[in-house]
């Protein structure tokens, strides 16, 4: 046991293993992103017969699925270990989950790199990949389930030891996120194991396309909240400490997380609004539920503003917005996530536009949607993850965040802001002009409409190149914090709840109630449409190889 780290050295090693995979993924995925924007701008041809859709698949899978999952599970283990502890047995099972996920990742990655899975991260049927693509993904999911059950067990053991006490806020949040993940991944596991694997192995000739997409989006939407909630954990329970304040309300934070659990899942149809074969009534119902899941984000915005204002005023800043000056803008542990929060205002607004049926008809399948998710996951979430890394990595490696790295981190955040504003901004505009997403460079026979898109595609390449500089900076910072920073103790900043807050009511921890409502909502939103899809789908599709 070393004394200069916050977690014991065994837990630190476990978390760091996840972080290494995350940052290697950041580099590979980011490089692919750069290449894509260059190809799409018409300025670059890929060498060695590498295909556009091949690198697009690497980009999506490695960033949206691998980086996120490894970072999140690692980060959540650090929170659990810090708040409720980890036994040797639990750590062993965590490692077991890690190795299964890593094995699955490598299997899938090799398949894509060999050009056998140009199906993008959504792997829409009837595009078909080589079976190892799906088998690898299934292993990642199974490995992550081991992580889920390890976290559940950690809280359970703590609760048994601390009878009658409410669970620590961060442990509660982790368990909610893992419950959400477990319930959501049942859908993707079902389509991969029951539909894609037999079909890609040639055991069956056709696949029910609509069913596979429905099961995918049953998972695909809660997936985005699985990415967002760890960022919210940091906003609610870490950032107040960094800015010298307190958590505004423990109850409100828990309520927001419970609402995410209940409303994240029965909303997948908002990705399928233009898809034929789903009754409009059920699309309408799921859109209403989508609007419900906006509420916990609005609660979060309210709560963050409250924390910032109260802290600023306590420090003596007055006036309507004077408290803004009281925030530690020069501390990258605050600055990076704060920029993420500010970006979430336009990002969330874009999401509300997407969810509105009529407007979805305009933006669906255009590069507007790509712009939307580069703001949400590619800015809000990732900048918060970077913000977490600045204290988490040194606190695990027993080193200090130096002022030089702090400054470099601020520069990194600014580079990201500039690059993403240019790239995502031009994606949004080009999307409104009708530019498609998921497509390689084309002049579409020189049509007038397509010629309008070119300048925005060049702007995307400029933004993409700036972002790649941001990635190189971040990878450098990571390497420095792991191996080169001076030894020392870095704070693991856990905030306390404001003494003015009311005590948290115990019913917020009534797991049976919340899980029960979640399941009821899922059954309500999905049972009839899924039966309908199974009974009335057109004949299944044979594979389409690209
Ligand atoms: Fe989305 C498509 C709707 C949030 C990610 N989304 C996607 C895709 C991804 C994605 C990856 O309804 C593409 C999938 C694909 O490949 O096809 N999205 C929404 C809605 C929300 C939303 C309603 N999305 C996210 C988040 C993501 C994410 C979060 C990742 C992390 N999205 C859609 C729809 C589509 C879609 C449709 C399908 C489009 C199509 O046709 O294909 C909501 O959750 C958003 C709510 C958020 C807010 C913002 C609250 C603001 C806060 C910040 C406060 C700021 C502070 C700082 C305190 C209402 C919390 C202030 C300081 C100052 C100084 C000012
Ligand atoms: Cu969604």
For 482-525, the pLDDT digits (tens) are 999 999 988 899 999 888 777 888 888 899 999 999 999 999 99
- The phi and psi torsions of 399 (rounded to 5 degrees) equal -130, 180
Q: Which among 295, 324, 369 is the best mutation to test ligand 1's pocket, defined by most ligand atoms within 8 Å of the CB?
A: 369
Q: Whose CA is nearest to atom 32 of ligand 1?
A: 351
462 Cα: distance to centroid of ligand 2 (angstroms): 28
Q: Which of 153, 313, 364, 437 is catalytic?
A: 437
Beta-bridge partners for 99: none
Q: Provide mean pLDDT across the span 238-243.
A: 96
Q: Which of 98, 225, 232, 480 is catalytic?
A: 225
161 Cα: distance to centroid of ligand 2 (angstroms): 39
DSSP 205-250: S-B-HHHHHHHHHHHHHHHHHHHHHHHHHHHHHTHHHHTT--BS-H
| CB 113, CB 49: distance < 8 Å | no
Q: Whose CA is nearest to atom 17 of ligand 1?
A: 271
Q: Which of 196, 373, 456, 468 is catalytic?
A: 373
Is there a catalytic annotation at residue 374?
yes
Q: How many CB atoms lie within 10 A of CB 538?
A: 10
Using pLDDT thresholds of 50, 70 and 90, give the confidence band for residue 358: very high
| CB 63, CB 29: distance < 8 Å | yes
What is the C-alpha separation between 254 and 239, in angstroms, rounded? 16
Which ligand places an atom closest to the C-alpha of 379? 1
Which token pair is 409? 């981190």
Q: Whose CA is nearest to atom 2 of ligand 1?
A: 369
Pocket of ligand 1 (CB under 6 A): 122, 224, 227-228, 270-271, 290, 293-294, 297-298, 300-301, 304-305, 341-342, 344-345, 348, 351-352, 354-355, 360, 364, 369, 372-373, 376-377, 381
Q: Which of 59, 221, 270, 428 is catalytic?
A: 221
131 Cα: distance to centroid of ligand 2 (angstroms): 27
Q: How many CB atoms lie within 10 A of CB 457?
A: 21
Q: Ramachandran region of residue 434, left (φ > 0), alpha (ψ -120 to 50) or beta?
A: left
Which token pair is 182? 């477990």
| CB 206, CB 196: distance < 8 Å | no
Using pLDDT thresholds of 50, 70 and 90, give the confidence band for residue 478: very high
| CB 419, CB 467: distance < 8 Å | yes
Is there a catalytic annotation at residue 59?
no
pLDDT of residue 1: 39
Three-class SS of 287-344: HHHHHHHHHHHHHHHHHHHHHHHHHHHHCCCCCCCHHHHHCCCCCHHHHHHHHHHHHH
Q: How many CB atoms lie within 10 A of CB 452?
A: 14
- The phi and psi torsions of 522 (rounded to 5 degrees) equal -65, -45
Q: Is the pLDDT of residue 15 over 90?
A: yes
pLDDT of residue 51: 86
449 Cα: distance to centroid of ligand 2 (angstroms): 29
Q: Is the pLDDT of residue 334 over 80?
A: yes
Q: Provide mean pLDDT across the span 234-257.
A: 95
Is there a catalytic annotation at residue 213?
no
Q: Measured from the CA of 338, which atom of ligand 1 is nearest?
A: 57
* CA neighbor of 492 nearest in space, from 151, 90, 83: 83
Q: Is the pLDDT of residue 463 over 90?
A: yes
What is the C-alpha separation between 195 and 207, in angstroms, rounded? 7
Which token pair is 513? 């109630």
| CB 166, CB 159: distance < 8 Å | no
Q: Whose CA is nearest to atom 5 of ligand 1?
A: 373
Q: Whose CA is nearest to atom 9 of ligand 1?
A: 373
Task: Give how far Cα 410 sits from Cα of 339, 447, 489, Å.
Answer: 10, 43, 21
Q: Is the pLDDT of residue 378 over 80?
A: yes
3-state DSSP percent of the chain in helix, strand and coil, to 5: 75, 0, 25
pLDDT of residue 184: 97
pLDDT of residue 546: 62
268 Cα: distance to centroid of ligand 2 (angstroms): 6
What does the mean pLDDT of the chain come to? 93
- The phi and psi torsions of 43 (rounded to 5 degrees) equal -105, 0
Q: Whose CA is nearest to atom 45 of ligand 1?
A: 348
Beta-bridge partners for 507: none
290 Cα: distance to centroid of ligand 1 (angstroms): 11
260 Cα: distance to centroid of ligand 1 (angstroms): 13
339 Cβ contact partners less than 8 Å away, ≥ 6 residues apart: 379, 383, 413, 416, 417
Q: How many CB atoms lie within 10 A of CB 293?
A: 22
pLDDT (tens digit per residue) in 60-102 = 999 999 999 999 999 999 999 999 999 999 999 999 999 999 9
What is the C-alpha separation between 259 and 267, in angstroms, rounded? 13
Alpha-carbon 450 to chain mean position:
32
What is the C-alpha separation between 148 and 94, in angstroms, rounded? 9
Q: Whose CA is nearest to atom 19 of ligand 1?
A: 351
Which token pair is 125? 């049927």
Mean pLDDT is lowest, of 45-54, 140-149, 386-395, 421-430, for: 45-54
Is there a catalytic annotation at residue 438?
yes
Using pLDDT thresholds of 50, 70 and 90, give the confidence band for residue 40: confident
Which ligand places an atom closest to the C-alpha of 347? 1
pLDDT of residue 5: 61
pLDDT of residue 464: 92
347 Cα: distance to centroid of ligand 1 (angstroms): 5
Q: Provide mean pLDDT across the span 253-274.
A: 96
pLDDT of residue 4: 54
Long-range contacts: 132-136, Cβ < 8 Å, 24+? 132/107, 132/108, 133/108, 133/200, 134/192, 134/196, 134/197, 134/200, 135/104, 135/107, 135/197, 136/103, 136/104, 136/105, 136/106, 136/107, 136/108, 136/109, 136/111
With b meaning 16 or more CB within 10 Å and e meaning fewer, what string describes 491-505? Answer: ebbbbebbeeeeebe
CA atoms within 13 A on the CB side of 427: 30
| CB 22, CB 471: distance < 8 Å | no
pLDDT (tens digit per residue) in 307-332 = 999 999 988 888 888 889 889 999 99
Q: Measured from the CA of 122, which atom of ligand 1 is nearest?
A: 16
| CB 397, CB 5: distance < 8 Å | yes
| CB 415, CB 466: distance < 8 Å | yes
Which ligand places an atom closest to the C-alpha of 338? 1
Q: Is the pLDDT of residue 207 over 70?
A: yes
Which ligand places an atom closest to the C-alpha of 218? 2
Max distance between CA atoms of the chain, in angstroms, equals 71
Task: Give how far Cα 484 sits from Cα of 394, 402, 481, Å.
Answer: 10, 11, 6
Q: Which among 69, 311, 351, 353 is the best mutation to test ligand 1's pocket, defined by most ligand atoms within 8 Å of the CB?
A: 351
Tokens 């490598």: give the residue: 106
Which ligand places an atom closest to the C-alpha of 427? 1
Which token pair is 314? 């306590």
What is the C-alpha separation between 436 and 430, in angstroms, rounded? 9
Q: Which of 91, 374, 399, 428 is catalytic?
A: 374
Alpha-carbon 50 to chain mean position:
28
What is the C-alpha separation between 281 and 170, in angstroms, rounded? 38
Using pLDDT thresholds of 50, 70 and 90, give the confidence band for residue 542: confident
ipTM: 0.97
Which token pair is 333? 């542990």
Is there a catalytic annotation at residue 372?
yes
- The phi and psi torsions of 366 (rounded to 5 degrees) equal -105, 170
Q: Which of 18, 40, 372, 428 is catalytic?
A: 372
What is the C-alpha separation between 196 and 13, in angstroms, rounded? 36
């Amino acid at each position: 046991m070393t004394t200069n780290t916050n977690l014991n050295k065994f837990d630190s090693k476990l978390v760091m293993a996840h972080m290494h995979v995350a940052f290697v993924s950041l580099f590979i995925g980011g490089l692919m992103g750069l290449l894509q924007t260059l190809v799409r701008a018409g300025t670059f041809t890929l060498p060695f017969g590498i295909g556009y859709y091949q690198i697009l698949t690497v980009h999506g899978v490695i960033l949206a699925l691998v980086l996120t999952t490894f970072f999140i599970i690692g980060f959540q283990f650090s929170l659990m270990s810090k708040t409720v502890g980890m036994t040797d047995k639990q750590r062993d099972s965590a490692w077991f989950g890690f190795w299964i996920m890593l094995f699955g990742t490598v299997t899938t990655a090799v398949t894509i790199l060999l050009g056998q899975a140009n199906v993008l991260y959504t792997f829409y049927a009837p595009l078909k990949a080589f079976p190892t693509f799906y088998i690898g993904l299934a292993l990642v999911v199974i490995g992550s389930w081991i992580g889920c059950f390890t976290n559940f067990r950690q809280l359970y053991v703590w609760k048994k030891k601390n009878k009658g006490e409410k669970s620590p806020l961060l442990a509660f949040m982790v368990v909610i996120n893992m419950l959400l993940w477990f319930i959501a991944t049942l859908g993707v596991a079902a389509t991969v194991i029951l539909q894609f694997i037999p079909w890609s192995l040639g055991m069956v000739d056709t696949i029910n396309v609509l069913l596979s997409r429905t099961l995918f989006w049953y998972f695909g939407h809660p997936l985005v909240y699985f990415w967002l909630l760890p960022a919210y954990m940091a906003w609610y329970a870490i950032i107040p400490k960094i800015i010298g304040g307190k958590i505004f309300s423990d109850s409100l934070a828990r309520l927001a997380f419970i609402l995410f659990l209940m409303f994240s899942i029965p909303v997948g149809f908002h990705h399928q609004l233009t898809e034929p074969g789903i009754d409009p009534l059920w699309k309408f119902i799921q859109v209403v539920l989508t609007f419900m899941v906006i509420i916990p984000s609005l609660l979060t915005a309210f709560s963050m503003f409250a924390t910032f204002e109260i802290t600023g005023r306590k420090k003596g800043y007055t006036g309507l917005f004077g408290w803004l000056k009281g925030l530690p803008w020069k501390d990258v542990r605050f600055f990076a996530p704060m920029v993420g929060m500010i970006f979430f205002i336009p990002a969330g607004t874009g999401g509300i536009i997407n969810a509105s049926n009529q407007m979805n008809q305009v933006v669906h399948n255009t590069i507007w949607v790509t712009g939307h998710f580069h703001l949400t996951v590619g800015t809000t979430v990732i900048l918060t993850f970077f913000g977490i890394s600045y204290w988490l990595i040194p606190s695990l490696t027993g080193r200090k965040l130096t002022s030089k790295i702090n400054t470099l981190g601020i520069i990194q955040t600014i580079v990201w802001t500039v690059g993403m504003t240019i790239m995502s901004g031009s994606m949004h505009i080009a999307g409104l002009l009708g530019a498609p997403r998921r497509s390689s460079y084309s002049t579409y026979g020189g049509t007038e409409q397509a010629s309008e898109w070119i300048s925005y595609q060049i702007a995307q390449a400029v933004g993409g190149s700036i972002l790649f500089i941001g990635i190189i900076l971040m990878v450098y910072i990571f390497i420095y914090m792991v191996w080169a920073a001076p030894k020392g103790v870095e704070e693991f900043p856990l905030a306390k709840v404001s003494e003015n807050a009311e005590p948290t009511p115990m019913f917020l921890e009534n797991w049976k109630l919340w899980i029960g409502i979640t399941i009821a909502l899922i059954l309500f939103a999905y049972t009839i449409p899924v039966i309908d899809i199974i009974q009335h789908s057109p004949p299944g599709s044979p594979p389409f190889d690209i």
